[in-house]
Amino acid sequence: MSDIFIERIKKSANLHESKLVLALDLSYTNKKDLLKFAKNTTNTLGDYICAIKINFHLLLPLDLHSEVKTITGLAHSIGLQTIADIKLNDISNTNEVALSHLWSAGFDALTMNPFIGFDALRDAILYAHKNNNGVIALVYMSHKGASDTYGLKVIDPKSNTTVQMYELFLDWVEELNADGIVVGATLPEIIKRCSARIKGKVPIFSPGVDTQGGDAKQALANGSDYLIVGRSIVEAKDPKVQASQIRQLTWS
């Protein structure tokens, strides 16, 4: 891989005319059904999306280096990028071990929680970039309780001024050249503020569309670059129709 993650996902978006990331948050308990459904869903919806996001729904029950790798390999074969949504949050040494396993399993990027601190976030981003892969930092999650932490007022150690936690994370992301940020589609005003701050330098990935109450049009209008959608597509009566409709919103 010669291109960095940001460029690869742009190419995938252009290829499929879509800025829709499909979240494979599947709840099958039968391991064989889970793997089969994940592969079938990726294949079926590949023309409507630019990337797949895999979290613990698949990472825990499936073998990382064989079964999960078949899913990432399939995604790559149809021009998609792959994101491990593990919200990594540990010391630098442990993070590096986790990253090395994810890269060998075929992932192009992962999500990280900046609560680990500036230095550990920096180390992870540097390690990812050595492998031409990406780190997408959680700046403000989409669930209802996110304000309990991401909205906390804290003292910025550099400016000695009071800011909200997500604003501090946003400063770190810009300084460290992260490959994206996560801001929930349920928070259109926060998306707008983040977009105004980063001015297109870092792409905004927004989960929480439909099922959690986020509005796709509003998120995009306020500055989201990519929409992350899972259950409202996967559990739809006709996933292709649902994916096509959201894809059109992202590419209008």
Q: What is the mean pLDDT of residues 164-191?
A: 95
| pTM given for the model | 0.95
pLDDT value of position 208? 86
Domain boundaries, the chain: 5-144+178-250
Separation between Cα atoms, residue 93 and residue 77, nearest integer Å:
32
User: Active-site positions?
Assistant: 87
What pLDDT digit, counting tens, does each position of 33-88 carry?
889 999 999 999 999 999 999 999 999 999 999 999 999 999 999 999 999 999 99
Which one-letter amino acid corresponds to residue 7?
Answer: E
Fold of the domain spanning 5-144+178-250: TIM Barrel (3.20.20)
> What is residue 59's predicted lDDT score, i.e. its pLDDT?
95
Amino acid at 43: N
Whole-angstrom distance, CA of residue 81 vs CA of residue 72: 8
Q: Which residues pair with 138 in a beta bridge?
A: 182
Model confidence pLDDT, tens digit, residues 117-164: 999 999 999 999 999 999 999 999 988 888 889 998 998 888 889 999
Instruction: Give me the residues paired with residue 153 across strands.
Output: 164
What is the model's pLDDT at position 30? 64
